[in-house]
Amino acid sequence: MKIAVTYDNGNIFQHFGKTETFKVYEVEDDKVVSSEVIGSNGEGHGALAGLLAGQNVDVLICGGIGGGAQTALAEAGVELCSGAQGDADQAVEAYLKGELVSRGATCDHHHHEGGHSCGDHEEGHSCGSSCGGGCGSHTTMEGKNVGKKCRTHYKGTFNDGTQFDSSYDRGEPLEFVCGAGQMIKGFDAAVADMEVGQVVDIHLMPEEAYGMPNPEAIFTVEIAELPGSEDLEVGQQVYLSNQYGQPFPVKVTAKEETTITFDANHEMAGKELNFKIELVSVE
């Protein structure tokens, strides 16, 4: 099986019709065995759908997509998972695990419906995700790097020294626009006045990172109202979508005979975080 993702610098590009590259994953036994990035080589829904069909793609994971493109993909025999955001590799892994659960998007591989990641939070331990979650509102930020494309290496640790993320381990710096709300507030603020080549160590309180847990983000729904939820287990992380169709990650915290309870708080909520940040380049 082949899965294609609208792709831009590690993340899911949000406009199918304008995507310049796809990342195509070769899958065997529900595991990724190889991947490559290909150019779109054409404009328009029909051309992109034809390109994917020519690559023998079975599934497309993407962000926003119009009705015409959906029709073209259906005619090309490509299954669609729309409404996805965040890290492309994580989206594919979640799809293969059957953890894509949401209302309103199309995703039939594991009999769940859904899209991956975000909403107001980003999932997991991959930056762009871990320290890159657009969490909360951002006030106007000042600094010479604000508004510029910055590339940083970083290592993130908890107060006990446990590492939760590192771009050094992945061998690729994180790229983002400083001050644009793509990063958590404290990380953004640290980079705003850094010099290229400079390394800083910062300690962030929860208010500068992912905030404090919100009791209202824990909610219970009827299993009958959420197709696929009957197969979920306590402790599993899945993806729902809000009334606007925006996907977001939740964790199953309880399950009764007829109801299931989810916690939509970010897993880093309430935690103090430490980062070593190295500014690699500024454009």
Q: How far is CA 192 from CA 146, 203, 277, in A?
A: 6, 16, 12
Pairwise CA distance, residues 194 & 277, whole Å: 10
Least Cα distance to 229 among 199, 260, 206, 208 occurs for: 260
Active site residue 210: yes
Residue type, 120: D
Please state, in angstroms and rounded to a whole number, the distance separating the CA atoms of residues 85 and 70.
18
As separate numbers, helices (DSSP H) first and strands (DSSP E) second, the chain gives 5, 15
* Residue among 184, 248, 262, 263 flagged as catalytic: 184
Helices (H), the chain: 45-54, 67-76, 88-96, 167-170, 185-191
Residue type, 40: S
Q: Which of the following is catalytic: 25, 154, 248, 262?
A: 154
Distance between CA atoms of residues 75 and 78, nearest Å: 8
The active-site residue, picked from 7, 25, 164, 275, is 164
pLDDT of residue 135: 36
pLDDT in tens, the chain (283 residues): 999 999 999 998 888 888 889 999 999 998 999 999 999 876 566 688 889 998 999 999 988 777 777 778 888 888 888 878 788 998 898 888 877 543 333 343 332 223 322 222 233 333 333 343 333 334 468 899 999 999 999 999 999 999 999 999 999 999 999 988 888 999 999 999 999 999 999 999 999 998 999 898 899 999 998 888 888 999 998 878 665 555 678 899 999 999 999 998 888 999 999 999 999 999 9
Give the model's pLDDT for residue 110: 32
* Catalytic member of 87, 165, 188, 263: 165
| Per-residue DSSP letter, 79 | E
As a whole number of angstroms, the distance between CA 8 and CA 18 comes to: 11
Spell out the residues 6+ positions from residue 15 whose beta carbon is closer than 8 angstroms to its own.
6, 63, 64
Q: How far apart are CA 160 and CA 190, in angstroms?
A: 22
Question: What pLDDT does residue 41 have?
Answer: 73
- By the 10 Å C-beta count (0-12 exposed, 13-18 middle, 19+ buried), 22 is classed as buried
| DSSP SS3 for 120 | coil
Residue 219 annotated as catalytic:
yes
Structure tokens at 74: 């259906």
**Cα–Cα distance measured from residue 157 to residue 177, given in angstroms and rounded to the nearest whole number:** 23
Q: Name the nearest CA neighbour of 187 among 86, 177, 282.
A: 177
Catalytic residue among 13, 25, 176, 210: 210
SS3 63: coil
